[in-house]
């Protein structure tokens, strides 16, 4: 992260204060450098309207500010808290600071040049008691840190991140964050009968892993049933014997974005010290082609005991998630469960790259997640899970098949497949994030590459101030 917010008193050495300025013809989103009567220089930032959309505009404006400062090699700048408050109170300050941090993200650690870029300090200038600003900025920085962690991990190439090295990275991060980390390796997966994730990974030299990160909670809620957040992490996906076209294979390093988001979520949750216990489970595998790879027509036995006919080895994400769902439910007895996965291209056809697909067996959970998505800008759209869609997955030789054989309703049939591994009485939501997990163009608060989608959404969902868990009857009293 190349931009660092600092809380300071009103006077900043150098006298660069922003936003503010004379009335000049600019449009919302513009960042303009102007001369001041005293011989100084300041940026005029045009935020646009207020309200919920105004909060999103302020976040984007913060990102644009960060990028402008980095492009022009500015090392220290200031923003007056009072000016931001006038646009929407503390919510405006949080949104702008979050945008600064997200827009200042840079991934280039594999380049031979350009490493070690200087950090820009942006001072939040305020009068009186600074403690409330310091606390707010620190919380925002932890959330942004989770987003940056997810982006960095997802952007890593497949020769660097595979299931084994991902588990090592997760264990090291867990140690820094004070989380318990348990790694289930291929031997234990075989012992417990996790045949689905093993099948996906059996064509690779790098065996699969289930990575479990445990945050115990605080206070009266410590030890209560946890919220489980589960992520798909296909560190590379060739499609297996149902081989992808060469153009479709490029970018498959991003098939681990769901798992990367889980690691970012757990980082933020641990630093924010929320009361609710949370467990993050990452299902990691590499789907390759070799003499040992699984094939179409195979019938495999999942950890749940259900037999699955393989009709496409490129519908592998739902297989690793099936075993991860069963494992997480049996081991952690969660109060509710949410999974994030770059699962289907069909969700991009349906929703583009503006919203992720949401499927859930619980209306209250779905509604709470949608509301959090609107507040954070990580928006969702609910898709159906009607029982009739299960007909697409009927198999003559197994309990179900992993792919319907048609593109019809592909996001829905993917969700319906996962639903078969979740008890009806367990609130569960599936987020198909394929469209929103990456961006092909530079955005105000995100450069090209992984977006870290899901981190802010889920942290907002778990945060006490959102009252989302209370809304769906958690925690149990």
Q: Check residue 82 and give its pLDDT.
A: 81
User: What is the value of pTM for the model shown?
Assistant: 0.92
Q: Tell me: pLDDT of 53 over 70.
A: no
SS3 149: helix
pLDDT-based confidence at residue 16 (cuts at 50, 70, 90) = very low
Distance from C-alpha of 253 to C-alpha of 162, rounded to nearest angstrom: 10
pLDDT-based confidence at residue 84 (cuts at 50, 70, 90) = confident
Distance from C-alpha of 183 to C-alpha of 243, rounded to nearest angstrom: 30
pLDDT-based confidence at residue 24 (cuts at 50, 70, 90) = very low
Q: pLDDT tens for residues 349-362?
A: 999 999 999 999 99
The three-state (H, E, C) secondary structure of 79-135, written as one string: EEHHHHHCCCHHHHHHHHHHHHHHHCCCCCCCCCCCCCCCCEEEEEECCCCCHHHHH
Looking up tokens 């198999």 gives 395
Q: Tell me: pLDDT of 79 over 70.
A: yes
The percentage of residues in the chain with a pLDDT greater than 70, rounded to a whole number, is 86
Q: Check residue 14 and give its pLDDT.
A: 40
Q: Tell me: pLDDT of 247 over 70.
A: yes
Give the N- to C-terminal CA distance of the chain in Å, as an integer.
40
Mean pLDDT score across all residues of the chain: 89
Q: Tell me: pLDDT of 475 over 80.
A: no
Distance from C-alpha of 371 to C-alpha of 95, rounded to nearest angstrom: 17
Count CA atoms within 13 Å of residue 60 on its CB side.
Answer: 17
Nearest to 275 by CA among 94, 470, 431: 470
- What is the mean pLDDT of the segment spanning 399-428? 97
Q: Check residue 117 and give its pLDDT.
A: 60
Distance from C-alpha of 283 to C-alpha of 260, rounded to nearest angstrom: 10
Q: Check residue 51 and give its pLDDT.
A: 44
Q: pLDDT tens for residues 188-224?
A: 999 999 999 999 999 999 999 999 999 999 999 998 9
CA 128 to chain centre: 36
Distance from C-alpha of 283 to C-alpha of 258, rounded to nearest angstrom: 9
Q: pLDDT tens for residues 93-129?
A: 899 999 999 998 875 555 655 555 668 888 888 877 7
**Residues assigned a catalytic role:** 244, 318
Q: Check residue 241 and give its pLDDT.
A: 97
Reported for 369-374, long-range contacts at CB under 8 A and 24+ positions apart, including other chains, are: 369/338, 369/429, 369/431, 369/457, 369/461, 369/468, 371/468, 372/457, 372/458, 372/460, 372/461, 372/466, 372/468, 373/457, 374/52
- What is the mean pLDDT of the segment spanning 438-442? 95
DSSP assignment letter at 391: G
Sign of the alpha-carbon dihedral angle for 463, 467, 470, 472 = negative
Q: Where are the alpha helices (DSSP H) in 294-429?
A: 317-332, 346-351, 363-376, 410-419
pLDDT-based confidence at residue 61 (cuts at 50, 70, 90) = confident
Q: Check residue 338 and give its pLDDT.
A: 98
Q: Check residue 12 and give its pLDDT.
A: 44
Q: Decide if 202 contacts 292 (C-beta within 8 A).
A: yes
Question: Could you tell me which residue, 48 or 41, shows the higher pLDDT?
Answer: 41
Q: pLDDT tens for residues 155-183?
A: 999 999 999 999 999 999 999 999 999 99
């Amino acid at each position: 992260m190349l931009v660092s917010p600092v809380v300071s008193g009103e006077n900043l050495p150098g006298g660069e204060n922003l936003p503010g300025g004379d009335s000049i013809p600019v449009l919302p989103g513009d960042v303009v450098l102007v001369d001041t009567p005293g011989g100084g220089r300041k940026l005029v930032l045009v935020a646009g309207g207020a309200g919920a959309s105004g909060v999103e505009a302020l976040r984007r404006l913060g990102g644009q500010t960060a990028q402008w400062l980095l492009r022009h090699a500015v090392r220290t700048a200031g923003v007056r808290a009072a000016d931001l408050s006038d646009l929407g109170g503390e919510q405006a300050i949080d949104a702008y600071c979050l945008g600064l941090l997200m827009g200042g993200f840079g991934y280039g650690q594999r380049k031979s040049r350009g490493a070690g870029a200087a950090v820009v300090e942006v001072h939040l200038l305020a009068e009186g008691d600074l403690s409330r600003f310091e606390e707010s900025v620190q919380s925002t920085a932890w959330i942004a840190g989770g987003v940056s962690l997810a982006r960095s991990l997802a952007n890593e190439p497949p020769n660097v991140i595979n299931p084994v090295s991902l588990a090592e990275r997760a264990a090291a991060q867990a140690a820094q964050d004070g989380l318990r980390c348990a790694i289930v390796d291929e031997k234990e997966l075989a012992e417990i009968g996790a045949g689905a994730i093993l099948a996906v990974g059996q064509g690779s030299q790098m065996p699969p892993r289930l990575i479990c990160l445990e945050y115990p909670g605080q206070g009266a809620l410590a030890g209560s049933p946890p919220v489980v957040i589960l992520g798909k992490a296909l560190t590379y996906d060739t499609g297996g014997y149902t081989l992808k076209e060469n153009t479709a294979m490029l970018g498959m390093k991003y098939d681990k974005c769901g798992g990367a988001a889980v690691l970012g979520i757990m980082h933020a949750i641990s630093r924010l010290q929320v009361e609710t216990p949370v467990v993050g489970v990452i299902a990691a595998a590499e789907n390759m082609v070799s003499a040992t790879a699984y094939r179409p027509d195979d019938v495999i036995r999942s950890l749940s005991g259900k037999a699955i006919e393989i009709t496409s080895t490129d519908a592998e994400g739902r297989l690793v998630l099936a075993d991860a769902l069963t494992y997480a439910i049996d081991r952690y007895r969660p109060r509710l469960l949410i999974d994030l996965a770059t699962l289907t291209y069909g969700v991009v056809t349906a929703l583009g790259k503006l919203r992720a697909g949401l499927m859930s067996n619980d209306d209250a959970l779905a509604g709470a997640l949608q509301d959090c998505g609107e507040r954070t800008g990580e928006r969702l759209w609910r898709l159906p899970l009607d029982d009739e869609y299960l007909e697409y997955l009927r198999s003559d030789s197994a309990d179900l098949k992993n792919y319907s054989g048609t593109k019809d309703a592909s996001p829905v049939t993917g969700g319906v497949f996962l639903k078969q591994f979740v008890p009806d009485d367990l609130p569960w939501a599936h987020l198909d994030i394929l469209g929103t997990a990456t961006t092909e163009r530079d955005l105000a608060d995100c450069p090209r590459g992984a977006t870290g989608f899901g981190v802010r959404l889920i942290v907002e969902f778990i945060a006490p101030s959102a009252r989302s868990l209370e809304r769906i009857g958690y925690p149990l009293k």
